[in-house]
Amino acid sequence: MPTTTTTTDRIEKQIFLRASRERVWRALTDSREFGSWFGMRFAEPFKPGATIRATIVPTTVDPETAAMQKQFEGFAFDIVIERIEPQRLFSFRWHPGAVDPNIDYTKEPMTLVEFELKAAEGGILLTVAESGFDKIPLARRAAAFTGNEEGWTKVVTLIEKYLEQNA
């Protein structure tokens, strides 16, 4: 399990990977490899400053997750690549928890996701930090209101039902 540090604005995780720096770097910055473990397909290679269309496709790594992702298959959103510092740092911005096709996320603030690689005995210590949550609209964060693990989708469904009933 990764170790976690959080504030309301930032989540930080560290995980040890028993693999070479080159292997980890490729898994993060080759958009096809990233997509394959994360569960997305990217329209083009990652390049600093580029806005890239990401489409949800089930991961090839874990069948259980793949089954869950299946229902969101085809949902598309943009990510903006920030920095690619070879073998050391990769960062991008995106809309956290964006899976509702009825919501236009494009005008909302994005969070920043940073991957940092550090040498460690027998592998790489990878730090992932996602920050900028304090700027995410309260209504989006209300996802958690229902206090259950399903989070997002449930709230999105709640909002839809609510709007239907109050149309």
Partner 1 sequence: MRNATRISGKEARRSAPIFAALGDETRLRMLSRLAQSGPMSITSLTAGTGVTRQAVTKHLRRMEYAGLLQASRLGRERVWEVDPASLDMAEQYLRTISDQWDAALGRLKAFVES
**Residues engaged in binding partner 1 (CB under 8 A):** 1-2, 4, 6, 8, 11, 13, 15, 17-19, 23-24, 27-28, 33, 36-39, 59, 61-62, 65, 68-69, 71-72, 96-97, 99, 126, 128, 130, 133, 137-139, 141-154, 157-159, 161-162, 165-166
- Give 78 or 153: the residue with its C-beta nearer to partner 1: 153
| Cβ atoms 31, 46 nearer than 8 A | yes
Provide, rounded to whole angstroms, the least separation between the CB of residue 57 and partner 1.
11
Provide, rounded to whole angstroms, the least separation between the CB of residue 2 and partner 1.
5
CA dihedral (137, 138, 140, 142) in degrees, to 10, reads: 170
Residues whose CB falls within 8 Å of the CB of residue 96, separated by 6 or more in sequence, listed in order = 111, 130, 133, 136
- Give 49 or 67: the residue with its C-beta nearer to partner 1: 67
- Give 109 or 151: the residue with its C-beta nearer to partner 1: 151
Beta partners for 91?
Answer: 114
Stretch (H or E) spanning 63:
helix 63-70
